[in-house]
Structure 1
Amino acid sequence: MNNEEILEIIVKAADDKLAENIMVLDVRGLTSLGDYFVIMNGRNERQMHGIVDGVLEAAHKNNMEVLHQEGKNSGNWTLIDLNTVIVHVFNAEERSYYNLEKLWSEAPLVDITGMINEQ
């Protein structure tokens, strides 16, 4: 499975759980951590858990290896490492505080409009 297919599966899973402000950064050439960061937030802890569960379910259903998961029980931020794609699910306050979009401002945005709202 290529990165574009992985991104589409993850973005659709997050969108299905009503994740807010989904953004994909292309960090290839900027870090060895991965190729893409998928960043989103939920409105509250319950929704964040739903988003994380939806992303993990989609990953497992599509035979993606989840290398690491961190922070799910914190209620503020969860990281899901899918090797080349790193998923960050924040609450709004933590997302604003860490501001990964600004930290990685050199990374081009990936257009995800074709990945969501297709019914």
Structure 2
Amino acid sequence: MTASDRARELVLVAAHAADDKKAEDVVALDVSGPLPLTDAFVLASGDNERNVVSIANGVEDAMLEAGAKPIRREGRGEGRWILLDFGDIVVHVFHREDRMFYSLERLWKDCPTLPTGLSEQSRA
């Protein structure tokens, strides 16, 4: 199974919104095979709690403009790991340290990546 066209479209929206808010290391994974609840994860990192919250707010605003409403939001108060569930995709915005600790890329290493439309320079 592969991510739907709508999920791929929303990945691009989320990735660009995160990048606009200075997110680092934006990666998208196609989790549609092993995870029947969603098609894709978008992972992004921020330098500090304020940056993490800003990234999450920017992503949520852009997704609303694209017609995707959040089903669930978690972690905004702490600003360390914010999860935004839009059904077709789930966006994880991490503080850099927490992303390294939880290492979702390692947990989902068998899942293919999806294009984010970002240049290599903006993802690093």
Query: Same fold per TM (> 0.5)?
Result: yes
Q: Does the residue aligned with 1:38 lie in a helix, a strand or coil?
A: strand
Conserved? CA contact 2:8–2:114, under 8 Å:
no
Runs of 4+ off more than 3 Å: none
Tell me if 1:110 matches 2:119: no
Cα shift readout 1:7-63 (whole Å, capped 9, x = no counterpart): 111111001001000000111111123110001110111111110110011111222
Residue 77 of structure 1 is aligned with which of 78, 81, 95? Answer: 81
Tell me if 1:10 matches 2:11: no
Q: Residue type matched to 1:82 in 2?
A: F
Paired positions, count: 115
Q: Does the residue aligned with 2:36 lie in a helix, a strand or coil?
A: coil
- Provide the residue aligned with 2:29 in structure 1: 25
TM-score normalised by L of structure 1: 0.91
Unaligned runs of 5+ in 1: none
Residue 71 of structure 2 is aligned with which of 60, 67, 76? Answer: 67
Q: Does the residue aligned with 2:113 lie in a helix, a strand or coil?
A: coil
Tell me if 1:39 matches 2:43: yes
Distance in structure 1 (CA, Å) of the matches to 2:27 and 2:17? 13
Cα offset for 1:111?
Answer: 2.6
| Cα pair distance change 1:30/1:14, threshold 3 Å | same
Residue 57 of structure 2 is aligned with which of 53, 58, 61? Answer: 53
